[in-house]
Amino acid sequence: MDSKRNYQKELDNLIASLDGKKPRLLLHACCAPCSSYCLEYLKDYFDITLFFYNPNITDKEEFDKRYAELRRLVKEMNLGIDIICPTYCKEDFSSKVKGYEDCPEGGDRCPICYALRLAKACDYAEEKGYDYYCSTLSISPYKNCEKLNTIGEALAKGKKVKHLPNDFKKKGGYARSVELSKEYNLYRQNYCGCEFSKLQRENSI
């Protein structure tokens, strides 16, 4: 892993090279607050479709709540973009992280979760002929940007779809997402999504 890479600069350079073209981007969305800035930032440069695949979320009620907020955000931002939402199946996540239940937030369980969601997005993007794919996850200061990009690039190796380099927390991205969450009165959960992160957060209060 090359920790010296500046993924934001790579994205800036890529955008500068587009010369007015708008490639198709499948953007994996974890929630509305994280998506807000990413959509505001990318909408002028890419033809975006959102991909809401998050089997890590604690339960169907929480899943539906986050999905509803994402749909509302897209509508209120007047973006006119589609959202793909595969059927919620918690077992997709549970089976992958078996044996890693006791890992702390940010530990060895998280990259497994990144890979699960990115792989689903990558496969869909390849199948449907998108030019690029990536995730909104890097906007969070609690997510490992290097691992997200490394996993994303590895999954796209040998495929036609490319992974879009990103570090959305840069250029004030995270702070802007907080502002937009307030502006649109978005439900902003206080844990990542899985039952383990929720329990850790509750125990820290």
**How large is the average pLDDT for residues 151-175?**
98
The pLDDT assigned to 197 comes to 77
What pTM does this model have? 0.94
Q: Write the DSSP string, 80-129.
A: ---EE-PPP-HHHHHHHSTT-TTPPTTSTHHHHHHHHHHHHHHHHHHHHT
- Better-scored residue on pLDDT, 126 or 103: 126
**How large is the average pLDDT for residues 123-137?**
98
Length of the chain measured in residues: 205
- Better-scored residue on pLDDT, 200 or 131: 131
The pLDDT assigned to 202 comes to 63
| Mean pLDDT for all residues in the chain | 93
Question: Percentage of the chain surpassing pLDDT 70?
Answer: 95
The pLDDT assigned to 1 comes to 44
pLDDT at 2 over 60: no
Q: What is the pLDDT of residues 167-198, one digit of tens each?
A: 999 999 999 999 999 999 999 877 687 887 77
The pLDDT assigned to 198 comes to 73
Contact 137, 27 (CB under 8 A): no
The pLDDT assigned to 201 comes to 67
**How large is the average pLDDT for residues 113-136?**
98
- Confidence at 18, pLDDT banded by 50, 70, 90: very high
pLDDT at 111 over 90: yes
Q: What is the pLDDT of residues 65-110, one digit of tens each?
A: 999 999 999 999 999 999 999 999 999 999 999 999 888 888 899 9
